[in-house]
Structure 1
Amino acid sequence: MVGVTRWVKRLLPHGLLGRSLLIIVTPLIVVQLVSTYIFYATHWDTVAKRLANALAGDIGAVIETLRAFPDPDSQAHTLRIAASRMELDIRYEPEGILPNVPGEPPVGIMDAALYQSLRERVQRPFQVDSESFDREILVRVQLQNGLLEVFVPRKRLFSSTTYIFVLWMVGTSMLLLGIATVFMRNQVRSVRKLAAAADSFGKGHDVPNYKPEGASEVRQAAMAFLIMRDRLKRQIQQRTEMLAGVSHDLRTPLTRMKLQLAMMGELEGRVELEEDVAEMERMVEGYLAFARGEGSETPVPTDLAQLVEEVVGRYRRQGSEIDLHVENAVSLTLRPHALSRALSNLIGNALRYGGHVWVRVGCRPDGVDVVVDDDGPGIPVNQREQVFKAFHRLEGSRNVATGGVGLGLTIARDIVRSHGGDVLLEDSPLGGLRARLRLPL
């Protein structure tokens, strides 16, 4: 049962437009099937019987007239009346005998009704040939003195209302389906616009021109999205301003402390105080960098491969060994300065802990990957999410050569997530750590 359910779910449409049309089309098809069944079971059967009774009655009337007036002139006159008034081409063969060949069983409602009517109205041996001629049906009737062959036009047994009824049902159904498709497409378009706006905002792009439209429920969801967008922007702006203000205010007392330490001369504990001041200064710079990560830089179309080459080039000019491999050029809408900072943090961490770094830019079906590999000691699996927390450091010393403030990976992931992507840490095939930066297309 579970397998059947899964199979049915795979066959059903996944989009809102397809499912909405399915809801409309399914009752329509059921109504058509029921109407067709009722039509075939009642109307068509009734019409077929009446047409067959009329034809059998005409043949019976001709037979009785021929029997009542046996002279050749009267019989010829009767046959002319049948041809002109009844559309029956009748040929009488005196002394003719009905072929001793079993007749074919009736096929379809029309043939069955004709057989039944001939048995009731003619009451003589007969054969019906409905296959030999395209436009006529041959009815042979055995009389006492000969064989009567009656060529009947098929239109006398055919009712055009059958096809008219079917064509009318199909035509109106297609018209209703077309109208429903147009209306449903307009309704689905507003949902798609809302989804596109949410996706664009999730990638860090502003959507100032989006306006709620569509049904009242869709408008309600769109208004909720706009309120959420404004609330998030206010929160981001408040956090950025707060961090920038705090960091800026801390620089003044730090500068005074540095001047006072410089004027104190050689005193006991001066070196430790200078180290504390330097540590606080690095933390303030980290605050400012973290605040700038959510800055108001405008996204612009950017060649990601060229951006990576520029970041790698800066490290190479400082003497670092970095292997760079770019599969193909990719243009994305990015905040280039912010993303450059994120790449610098990832490559800088790899250079700090590894002797050699490999950087690769590659495309995947739904986005782009920038992979940074190193041959360093790596990070244990159970601590890979912890290192993204602000101020978390695996190396506990205050030595700037062996560890920073603890905001490098936090800033990198924060920037990448503001673009709709993410930063993941994995095992590198080179023995160290792999940092995978993923960006959506």
Structure 2
Amino acid sequence: MLPRSLLGRSLLILLIPLVTTQGIALELFYGSHLNIVSRRLSGAVVGDITATIALLERYHARGDRDWILTRAADQFQLVMRMQPRARLAHPGSTNVLGPMDEDLADALTQRIGRPFFVDWSSDPHTVHIRVQLSDGVLEVDAPRKRLDVGPIWLFVVWLVSSALLLFIVAALFMRNQVRAIRRLARAAEAFGMGREVGPIRPEGAQEVRKAASAFNRMQERILRFVAQRTAMLAGVSHDLRTPLTRLRLTLAMLPPEPSFHPGAAAPGGAAAGEAASFQADIADMVADVEEMERMIEGYLSFARGEGAEQARRVNLRQLLEEAAAAARRTGAEVLEVTVLRVAEVELRQDAIRRVLANLMENARRHGGRIALTAVGDERFATILVDDDGPGIPTERREEVFKAFEGDSRGGTGLGLTIARDIVHAHGGDMWLEQSPAGGLRVRIRLPLG
């Protein structure tokens, strides 16, 4: 039930103590100060009314009663009138916000002990009190300021508004702090996917600034290491290919037939057979040189990776069509290319093209017919490469991604390893499944952007 984001949890840490503190302050005000003051005010008014009722019951002459009511108005600031032979229709009290109505009703019940009715709502400045006496009804108009401690809603509004103001200030401050962390996270994610993000500007709290500076230094060291390794591998590639090129040229310059020593006569049939064997040996050596070149290229590609290319928005249908056309030129039978609910994906085009070429070459060599499918959702694009070959047993599907172990049927064993590394560098994943066509299905999942 807790918020998952740092901003939400930080605001919750601030909000809970703030609301608790304000609630305690409100309870203390209502439970102690406001109730005490309200009870004392109500007791004072009811005491004045009780004294007046005692005098009215002691002196029954009309002139005495008029004098008592006049003195009550002067001394107690209570306007009183006597309604002879009147009866209260509905005893009780109307309600208002705060404890004043309950305190006044309790005081009237305890100290007067007679039926009464209190009207709080008809006049905003006066509280009308009616008390049933033995010979009529005593009407009392009490100023509201003698019973009301003040506008309670103002105190409640002050509590709520101050809490809201503090919460808004805290939210703005925390959002600025979290924004720096989010920017650092986005930069790290983009750099992990091979995108050139450049140094980020340290901002926010001191710890966040230190993390941003450390990220910039790490990014600089990694880029320098990759550049140095790429330069070294370029030299290694040149050094390894030079002797292979000399071998290839030497084989190309060999005479088409073996030479014989002068005076050594060889039978015609034997000479023809020896020439054929000589040509076969040359062809085998040329094939070996080509295989060595492919192996060296595979090793260098595995070590070099695909970090130099920058990611950009690519039309996925066009990329799959081009990969299918290239596979058809090598003799592969690509049945169809299907793209659903996805248009463009941010990726390194040459790297993904190499992944598709590798997978389709494997499908051509070990499978048969190939189908390419791409399906998109809100976050990812999924590419499916299906064939109808023999497939790979479930227990070996993870082993084939290990370097130099992935291909037991010829090759360097680096194809699937390089392909998965490229997909991982894009922030995606790749795994093997059973194809509906009966062979192997390779599922590639790539983030849209």
Q: 1:130 to 1:306 in 2, by over 3 A?
A: farther
Q: Would the aligned equivalents of 2:7 and 2:174 in 1 still touch at CA under 8 Å?
A: yes
Tell me which residue corresponds to 1:176.
Answer: 166
What are the superposed Cα offsets for residues 351-380 of structure 1, whole Å, 9 maximum, x if unpaired? 221110110011133211111011111122
Tell me which residue corresponds to 1:138.
Answer: 129
CA distance in 1, matches of 2:75, 2:427: 84
CA distance in 2, matches of 1:148, 1:275: 124
Q: 2:381 is matched with which residue: 357, 362, 368? A: 368
The answer on 1:428 being equivalent to 2:418 is no
Q: 1:38 to 1:17 in 2, by over 3 A?
A: same
How big is the shift at 1:181? 0.7
Q: 1:346 to 1:102 in 2, by over 3 A?
A: same
Q: Which stretches in structure 1 are left out of the alignment for 5+ residues?
A: 1-10, 397-402
Task: Mark the structure with the bigger radius of gyration.
Answer: 2
Q: Superposed, which structure 2 residues align to 1:26-425 within 5 Å?
A: 26-64=16-54, 66=56, 70-73=60-63, 75-76=65-66, 78-80=68-70, 82=72, 88-94=78-84, 96=85, 109-118=99-108, 124-130=112-118, 134-135=122-123, 136-142=127-133, 145-152=135-142, 156-160=146-150, 162-262=152-252, 263=254, 265=258, 273-290=285-302, 293-322=305-334, 323-396=336-409, 403-425=410-432
Corresponding residue SS for 1:126: coil
Q: Would the aligned equivalents of 1:110 and 1:157 in 2 still touch at CA under 8 Å?
A: yes
Q: 1:389 to 1:248 in 2, by over 3 A?
A: farther
Equivalent pairs: percent with the same residue?
Answer: 46
TM-score normalised over the length of structure 2:
0.83
CA distance in 2, matches of 1:327, 1:115: 76
Corresponding residue SS for 1:28: helix
How big is the shift at 1:19? 0.7
Q: Would the aligned equivalents of 1:240 and 1:294 in 2 still touch at CA under 8 Å?
A: no
Q: Would the aligned equivalents of 1:205 and 1:299 in 2 still touch at CA under 8 Å?
A: yes
CA distance in 2, matches of 1:133, 1:105: 7
Q: Would the aligned equivalents of 2:78 and 2:142 in 1 still touch at CA under 8 Å?
A: yes
CA distance in 2, matches of 1:57, 1:243: 103
CA distance in 2, matches of 1:242, 1:81: 112
Report the residue type matching 2:193 in the other structure.
Answer: K
Q: Would the aligned equivalents of 1:124 and 1:142 in 2 still touch at CA under 8 Å?
A: no
Q: 1:391 to 1:358 in 2, by over 3 A?
A: same
Q: 1:247 to 1:132 in 2, by over 3 A?
A: closer
Q: Would the aligned equivalents of 1:142 and 1:148 in 2 still touch at CA under 8 Å?
A: yes
Which range moved further: 155-164 or 83-92?
A: 83-92
**How many residue pairs get matched?**
421
Q: Would the aligned equivalents of 2:46 and 2:108 in 1 still touch at CA under 8 Å?
A: yes
Report the residue type matching 1:130 in the other structure.
Answer: V
CA distance in 2, matches of 1:377, 1:194: 47
Q: Would the aligned equivalents of 2:251 and 2:282 in 1 still touch at CA under 8 Å?
A: yes
Tell me which residue corresponds to 1:3.
Answer: none
Q: Which stretches in structure 2 are left out of the alignment for 5+ residues?
A: 259-274
Task: Tell me the C-alpha RMSD between the 2 structures.
Answer: 3.1
How big is the shift at 1:182? 0.8
TM-score normalised over the length of structure 1:
0.84
Report the residue type matching 1:231 in the other structure.
Answer: R
How big is the shift at 1:112? 4.2
Q: 1:104 to 1:334 in 2, by over 3 A?
A: closer
